[in-house]
Each structure stands twice: as C-alpha cells, then as structure tokens.
Structure 1
Amino acid sequence: MPTDSLMSREAVIAFLDEVFPQIHHGGPGPVIEAVGPLSATLRLPYHKRHLRPGGTISGPAMMALADLALYAAILANIGPVALAVTTNLSFNFMRKPAPRDLIGEARLMKLGRQLAVGEVLIRSEGETALVCHATGTYAIPPRKS
C-alpha cells in the first residue's frame, strides 16, 4: 500500500476541473480540503442548492460528497485515472445535518490493483456526531504499460 500520496491536493483539483467540470454547475460543490496517504477530506458548503424540503441538506448532496471524497482519496494515491469507477456505495443516514457546511473524511481501507474499498464519515462542521456513514468500492482499470 502507498505511504505517500502521488497527487497533491492542487493536482487532484486540477484533474477534476479538467475531466469533471460539471461539478461546478449551479453553485458551489464539494471542496477538497486535504488529501494524504489513503485519505481525503472534503467540505460541502451549505447552500440552498443542497437543501430538501424542510431546510435540511439532502441525501443526494451527502451521497455526492461521499462519492467524490472516495474518488479524491483514490486519485491522490494512484494518480490521475479518470476511469476508476464506483461499483458500490452504501449509506447510513444517522441524524439531520445542522444548517452549516458538511465535512466528509474519507479513508481507504483497501487499495489494490483492481479494487479500492473505503469509508466516509460525514459531520456537520464543528460537531462530532456523524450525520452519515458511507462505504464504497471502486473498480480501478488496468494500468497500460
């Protein structure tokens, strides 16, 4: 397993801006705050585009945060692989998020040649209680020689 990230935070951001420019459509999306060995931390800014009726941050917004957090952690550790794809995501919504930014902390539990498995802990900024726990698996395409 890698001990140092291959891509810096800035390199991951630049790569995502190039291959997924649509993540910025319609207002603020997740912000990559840090990447490291087998990890990434992202922030989802509190914004009306992420709200559901009742004024709480929607499940789909938290799902997008978790999926992108796992992808950022994988990219940071294997390099720019656009075709690493989600094969499974599972979510446990634990409580209503506070009306503030969400912080997603991704940790890869396995990073192999073909699969990566990780979890994401999502909290409202400034709180310790989880609002969501997600697990996911990504398929990693074969490296070209």
Structure 2
Amino acid sequence: MLTPVMTTQDLSQFLDEVFPQIHTGGRAYFVESVAPGEVVVRLKATDMHLRPGGTVSGPSMMALADLAAYVVILAHIGPVALAVTTSLNINFLRKPEPGDLLCTCRLLKLGKRLAVVECGIAGEGEEDYVAHATATYSVPPR
C-alpha cells in the first residue's frame, strides 16, 4: 500500500503557495483527509458553483475531481508543482443538490512518469455518487 508523504496541512499550505487561484472568489476547496492511496477533498459549493435549476454545475464538479486527483498524487510523491493533467474523463450520474460535495480520490497506479486515479463525488452524508471521474497525470522526473 502507498504511504502518504504529505499531511492535510502540508497539502493545504502547498496549494495556497503554488495554486492560490483556486481560492479566487473565496476559499471553496478543502483537503479533508489523507490516507494510504486516498484523499478526500471538499467543495463548499456557493452560488457561484450553481447552474440554472439550482444544482452544482458540471464545471465545478470537474474542477473538484481534477483538484482531488492532483492532491492525491502530491500526497504520495511530495510537493511537485508541475504534475499536470493529461486526461480527465467524468460521468455525471445524478443531479447534485446545492451544498457541499466530497470527492474521494484513489490512486490506481503511481508510476515514475504517469499516475492514474479514480474519483467519486457525493453530497455530504450521501452514499450515492453524483459523478465519477478518472484522470491521468504526467509526473515530472523526480
């Protein structure tokens, strides 16, 4: 099993330093937990994350999945700012209600140059996913 090398506090501080634009309009993303091979990232969805009809927008959920993928990789390789998304596939499964969303993201493969992750997004306190994503990241040489 993969052992994390960064804590929730380490990750939050690193994101604040190298990726402050995720907080444009106010802090909405929070690293909730880090475990072997897994992280949970929260989106505190506000009006700016909603689409007509009062549901959390697809782009907001995609951003959450992409950020969670970045976080789970960093948690296990350390502070490497230049890890980048090479692909992201998301399936929207049901309409999310307004409110916080939690993205549980798991490492499927962590290689020398590529990492593959799987993310499930659900409303807080809900078991059923509202979206499911897979992502591949390019990891710079260590």
> What residue is the counterpart of 2:6 in the other structure?
7
Distance in structure 1 (CA, Å) of the matches to 2:27 and 2:20: 12
> What residue is the counterpart of 1:46 in the other structure?
45
Counterparts of 1:67-82 in structure 2, within 5 Å, are 67-82=66-81
SS, match of residue 105 in structure 1: strand
SS, match of residue 70 in structure 1: helix
> What residue is the counterpart of 2:63 in the other structure?
64
Counterparts of 1:81-100 in structure 2, within 5 Å, are 81-100=80-99
Q: CA deviation at 1:139?
A: 0.2
Distance in structure 1 (CA, Å) of the matches to 2:62 and 2:119: 10
Q: Percent identity?
A: 57
TM-score (structure 2 length as normaliser): 0.96
> What residue is the counterpart of 1:119 in the other structure?
118
Cα displacement string for residues 22-79 of structure 1 (whole angstroms, at most 9, x for unaligned residues) = 1111123211101122111011112101001111100000001000101110001000
Length, aligned pairs only: 142
TM-score (structure 1 length as normaliser): 0.94
Distance in structure 2 (CA, Å) of the matches to 1:35 and 1:77: 9
Distance in structure 2 (CA, Å) of the matches to 1:63 and 1:74: 17
> What residue is the counterpart of 1:55 in the other structure?
54
Distance in structure 1 (CA, Å) of the matches to 2:83 and 2:48: 27
Q: CA deviation at 1:119?
A: 0.6
RMSD after superposition: 1.0
Distance in structure 1 (CA, Å) of the matches to 2:86 and 2:69: 12
CA contact (8 A) 1:35 1:72 kept: no
Q: Which runs of 5+ in 1 are unaligned?
A: none
Q: Which runs of 5+ in 2 are unaligned?
A: none
Distance in structure 2 (CA, Å) of the matches to 1:27 and 1:53: 21
**Which residue identity is paired with 1:25?**
T
Counterparts of 1:101-116 in structure 2, within 5 Å, are 101-116=100-115
Distance in structure 1 (CA, Å) of the matches to 2:37 and 2:67: 14
